[in-house]
Structure 1
Amino acid sequence: MIARNIVIHPDAAATAQAIAARLITAISDAIAARGVAHVVLTGGSLGINSLLALARNPARVAVDFSLVHFWFGDERFVAADSPDRNVGQAEPLFAALEALGLDRATVHAMGSSDEFDDAESAAAAYAETLAAEAPEGASAPQFDVLMLGMGPDSHVASLFPNHTRLEQAGVLAVHDSPKPPADRVSLSMPLINTAREVWLLVAGAEKAPALAAAQHEVNEVAVPASAVRGTEATRWLIDRSAATLL
């Protein structure tokens, strides 16, 4: 049994609210400690609902969002205006935070198919953006919080079971994705695991088998979610229906 920090909430709505409140505290702590916060966002219903909850949480006004960099764990390599894009789904959060100092230049979106010929080029460009914000000698900033959803197959970001080469570092181009669209850009497992805290956001009974498998043993190939870990904390923030097999 691997070490785990699991927090169970009554349902998906309560989980989203709790994630938003926890994120405000984590961002505030990072700014107090280091003068800046680097946060990696995730898509998926729970991930996006958590961001919407953050946009409405009254405590958000306590944060100076001019000191926050937002990144993405993965993105669909599709047109910029596609509704499948995580950055587009997160737009209500960014619009709400502009009044609190958010600079759109610190919202680091992964490239679209309008901007780049292929996913490899988009991945390389995102690696360059990460390097530009990294301390001397590093290829990326150390993320304070990196949020991930998990699919019913245990995939995280765009790292799919028995598909993605998990040993590759940096930013990856993903092709022939088991879940459409076929082409994606994703942070690699080694890069994900440099984050101070990794939060896995899981809701729904359909996720229960994968969640149980991820807690049983580390198997990077068959169960990618099992291999995710933060350098300081790994938190599973889940709802009761996802926890039925724990």
Structure 2
Amino acid sequence: MSEVEVADANLTTLPDHWLVYADAATVAQATVDLILERATQAIAERGAFHLVTAGGTTPMACYRLLADLTSSKADIEWAKWFIYMGDERCLPADDQERNSLNLDQAWLNLGQIPAQNIFFMPAELGARAAAAAYEKVLKEVSCFDVVMLGMGEDGHTASLFPGHDYPTGQKVVTEFNSPKMPPERVSLSFECLSNARFVMKLVTGAGKQPAVQQWLAGEPLPISQVVGQERTEVLLDFAALPQ
């Protein structure tokens, strides 16, 4: 899936790793195409593919596309995929606002990826207990292959919010004062999210324009603080571009 033609001055000034597509559906398809390409490469080179997932509307569209591939019995080595969470809300495990429940219902419940390869955050235990448990899980991961990130209208990513201080030297951090409900959350840290060969940032919708403008102006938004080891890509639609 190729990005749209550069059609105006706004696009010509974007960094070269910013890929602009016509709409959110096209962003989702392009993201899935890149994920599949990198999964094939990772499995060929290292025998496994480690993917960090994100919550949000556009990532969910990606998971539905992956579910379609799972249902179609595409020639994909799902048993060698390992799935992690970028963040989670501290709610009961069956709450419809849980990222894990939405991810499971959209894709993972089809069963192609073995249950032992799926690592949800036990956020129902509370942020501190969940963070401690997930730190132990991540000790087994030397480097992620792909980290998916969405962005909120305030420029937050995962559950890392503007103006909030997070400790360094940890793979997992807690949040007790989220500006969005619920206030208590658990998130991979900036350092942990950056411990990935490829970082893919998905940004869609007109509501993201102010944050995109700040980002391009060099303001230190959380979304800008995660950088992949090999490549960082921003996949966005026309609607998200500042006018």
TM norm structure 1: 0.87
CA–CA distance in 1 between the matches of 2:64 and 2:153? 23
Aligned with residue 119 of structure 2, among 97, 108, 116: 108
Aligned counterpart, 1:89: 102
* 1:69 partnered with 2:82: yes
Query: Secondary structure at 1:238's aligned position in 2?
Result: strand
Instruction: Check the 8 A contact 1:74/1:187 in 2, yes or no.
Output: yes
Q: How does 1:7-156 map to 2 (within 5 A)?
A: 7-57=19-69, 61-91=74-104, 92-96=106-110, 98=111, 100=112, 102-113=113-124, 116=125, 118-131=126-139, 133-134=140-141, 141-156=142-157
Q: 1:233 aligns with which of 211, 231, 234?
A: 231
- 2:6 matched to which residue of 1? none
- Aligned-residue Cα RMSD (Å) equals 1.9
Contact 2:166-2:173 within 8 A present in 1 as well: no
C-alpha deviation, 1:55, in angstroms: 1.3
1:167–1:2 distance in 2 versus 1, CA, 3 Å: farther
Structure 2, unpaired ranges of 5+: 1-12
SS in 2 for 1:24: helix
Alpha carbons of structure 1 residues 10 and 195: separation in structure 2 relative to 1, 3 Å: same
Q: Is the contact between residue 213 and residue 226 of structure 1 (CA under 8 Å) also seen in structure 2?
A: no
Distance 1:8 1:43, change over 3 A: same
How do 1:189-200 residues align onto structure 2 when only pairs under 5 Å count? 189-200=190-201
Question: Mapping of 1:160-175 within 5 angstroms?
Answer: 160-165=161-166, 167=168, 169-175=170-176
Verify the 8 A CA contact 2:56 2:150 in the aligned structure 1. yes
Distance 1:164 1:3 in 2: 28
SS at match of 1:33: helix
1:62, distance to aligned residue in structure 2 (A):
2.1
For normalisation by structure 2, the TM-score amounts to 0.88
CA shift for structure 1 position 49: 1.0
Which secondary structure does the structure 2 equivalent of 1:90 belong to? Answer: helix
Partner of 2:213: 212
Q: Cα offset for 1:22?
A: 1.6
Would the alpha carbon gap of residues 240 and 218 (structure 1) be closer, same or farther in structure 2, given more than 3 Å must change?
same
2:198 equivalent to 1:187:
no
**Unaligned residue ranges in structure 1 (runs of 5+):** 135-140
User: 1:60 Cα shift?
Assistant: 6.8
1:201 correspondence with 2:194: no
**Separation in 2, partners of 1:80, 1:130:** 20
Asked if the contact 2:21–2:238 (Cα under 8 Å) also holds between the matched residues in 1, the reply is: yes
Query: 1:195·1:230 contact (CA, 8 Å) conserved in 2?
Result: yes
Q: What is the aligned partner in structure 2 of residue 137 from structure 1?
A: none
